[in-house]
Structure 1
């Protein structure tokens, strides 16, 4: 196995210069960095992260913090796609990825504390945004720790870097898409408007529907599909009796697919649309129209911010990833 001395010899530099070049030191010329990288490739050299961590008291590891709600993660491919995006940037910068999870906030905090104290991890990405989050508050109190959030912070005083879509605009565009298709009534389905993402999408939907001269309507469904009978009763109550062209805009694909199943039990055809453009949306029958929010890009942008946040100078603390409507059979009249 090649060592840093082998790389230095091949590149014609000292081991210390090779090390600085690997870490993109501004003291090393671009020509020297290129020679070192070429030598690393030729020798198939991988940095010894353990040795670096012991020497520097830091870690070439990015901590990824999942929400302390197991069902949100296990049933939602959105988080897997985010982690894939995070990993792609970490791989390019010789970083490892370590995931922090827990069934409760207390358990999650304990895991993060271990990562900081024993693993010397100083960079974290939260893949969620939550009001009054004790986990985020714990990380904020730690010295020399950088963190980035995927999602919009709940408080205006929060100054941390964050990556998100413009969810208001996504909700607005989705509602306009359904209006342009000729749907007379559009119902917004959600599970918790206290969540920033769901609320922002609702506000965008509400603005578009109001501008069209129609009345907005929002219906809350359970976060889990434990009571299908209750959900069907809610759906039947929400559906207008004298309108034929009805569409449901759900806060995400998971809820959209559950409602699509319930709509299939109704006599009238009902269009359904979701957000996230998950793999399940493509496999549904009929295939689900959805708003693509590019979770891999959300992950890659967040990782880049977390790794390079000490050198970045942005006009804003926010990086906004665009969205795109993917039309499928579920909304075709």
Structure 2
């Protein structure tokens, strides 16, 4: 692998001059810069980004902030797809991606502070939106830090760069999809209605029920992580009150799979449900029966967030033409909702 000394030797300059030329120093002539750039191309030289950051007090790295819930991230392919989308745009713009994670909020904040102070990272993308988020409040304390949120911001929505789906419309469309099949009993299954995405989809669910006069009697299945028997009892109560085919709008594909498992525990035939999830993950495609799911294009969410982060970096003192992007969704039908 070529080093800066190799580049300097090829260009006929000292290593310090080569370094200054790479940093586009005004002390170096354009002729010398051209020689150094030519040597870099010939040697296929990749700069040491960490060293550049120290020299320039800037960074060509975008920090990606994951929620401080390791199990939620590790078990959910949604976050991996977002990062893949982020990386694709960053690679195209010669930007690196550095991921900030932590098992606790305190650990996550500590890691982010290290990225800012030692890595000179000034651009971050939150892959989640959370009310009263101490991590976001930490970022806001740094005046020179720019950030983009994936999801609808809880505060400062008019001034925050963000990328999101229309989750109200997605919840409405998913519920109407089942109602249009003649299913009169539609359940909304969730894990936490305090989370903005789940709540927005719930409100869309209610709006679809209202159109057919069912908004006064919504059916909700509130599940608790790692509480299998408690969830099974709640599921059994809903099924005992129902007659005929039951539609279920689950807040994501992972919960939809758990509901399929609850069918087995409660001795309910999976064919008695018309089950639908969100994210259109690999889990949905490999489930039995395969899950109908709402595709929300997580890679696109990631790539659009990266584009906004890079745009703010290139236009520090300018108002962007677009500081938020709404990514569309579509329903992908599979066997779980075939009547």
Normalising by the residue count of structure 2, what TM-score does the alignment of the two structures yield?
0.85
1:298 Cα shift? 0.6
Of 274, 278, 290, the residue aligned with 1:275 is: 278
Structure 1 residues 246 and 119, CA, compared in 2 at 3 Å: closer, same or farther? same
Secondary structure in 2 aligned to 1:291? strand
Rounded to whole Å, the distance in 2 between the matches of 1:252 and 1:7 is 56
In the alignment, the residues of structure 2 paired with residue 323 and residue 157 of structure 1 have an alpha-carbon distance, to the nearest angstrom, of 21
Computing the radius of gyration from Cα coordinates, the structure with the larger value is: 2
Counterpart in the other structure of 1:137: 137
Q: CA RMSD in A?
A: 2.8
Count how many residue pairs are aligned between Structure 1 and Structure 2: 318
Correspondent of 1:324 among 316, 320, 330: 330
How many angstroms does 1:97 deviate by? 1.2
Would the aligned equivalents of 2:178 and 2:274 in 1 still touch at CA under 8 Å?
A: no
SS at match of 2:144: coil
Distance, in Å, in 2 between the alignment partners of 1:111 and 1:319 is 28
Match of 1:24 in 2: none
Q: 1:321 to 1:206 in 2, by over 3 A?
A: same
Given that residues 263 and 269 in structure 1 are in contact (C-alpha distance below 8 angstroms), is that contact kept between their aligned partners in structure 2? Answer: no
Counterpart CA distance in 1 for 2:66 and 2:102 is 8
Q: Does 1:67 align with 2:72?
A: no
Q: For structure 2, list consecutive stretches of 5 or more residues without a partner in the other structure.
A: 25-29
TM-aligned CA distance change 1:218 to 1:197, over 3 Å: farther
1:3-60 alpha-carbon deviations (Å, 9 max, x no partner): 6769989xxxx9778766xxxxxxx9xxxx9xx9999766534233133212210111
CA, structure 1 residues 233+223, in 2 after alignment: closer, same or farther (shift >3 Å)? closer
TM-score by length of 1: 0.86
Greater mean alpha carbon deviation, residues 247-256 or residues 315-324:
315-324
Q: Does 1:188 align with 2:194?
A: no
- The answer to whether the Cα contact below 8 Å between 1:263 and 1:270 also exists between their aligned partners in 2 is no
1:218 to partner: Cα distance: 4.1
Cα distance between partner residues in 1 of 2:66 and 2:274: 33
After superposition, the Cα gap between the structure-2 partners of 1:8 and 1:239, relative to the gap in structure 1 and judged at 3 Å, is farther
Q: Is the 8 A contact 1:192 1:220 kept in 2?
A: no
Write the distance in 1 (CA, Å) between the matches of 2:184 and 2:119. Answer: 56
